Chain A
Amino acid sequence: SQQGEEDPQALSIQEGENATMNCSYKTSINNLQWYRQNSGRGLVHLILIRSNEREKHSGRLRVTLDTSKKSSSLLITASRAADTASYFCATGAGNQFYFGTGTSLTVIP
């Protein structure tokens, strides 16, 4: 399988703390995307980082990409209870698109 893997599988933090999730993938990529999924809902696109970029910000989100290590990280700063969800990385390579296994984040009010 060419799926990526997120680490940790589950993360529980207090509101206001930062949350960091990591993604490792196996093949060369065109870009990497992060998505959020609330329970019972579809996925919501958060951020796209291209293979020639190393860092990208969007609001409270910060994404880094290290193509030499085939890894990416998603940092959510000042977390809120509403950030409770599963987070997935997705990689595009050639004409295929692969999702990772996901990190389940719980933010405790």
Chain B
Amino acid sequence: ILNVEQSPQSLHVQEGDSTNFTCSFPSSNFYALHWYRWETAKSPEALFVMTLNGDEKKKGRISATLNTKEGYSYLYIKGSQPEDSATYLCAFMSTGRSGGSNYKLTFGKGTLLTVNP
């Protein structure tokens, strides 16, 4: 059974604060780590797909890092805005039996971020 853990479970910050959260995942059979942002009543939106150890990716004020050897990824939000309020999900994808990727995403429970104006 694959175990993907996210912390904290929820987070309240003030507008303008910077914040970060953690995703831990199995360090074996790693293929990719996905980050999604999920706002209420909307579709989960893909933020990053990370595949290489040491990867750092950035999209506007949001960035993410990846450590596949120790099995963790950090998501950072700089200068949080109320519109950043959402649940942030990470999902682990393992290697498939014949190489390449498995098709299943194994999700963590998410971090619920609330940014107060």
A binds B: no
Q: What residues make up the interface of A, taking CB atoms closer than 8 Å to B?
A: none
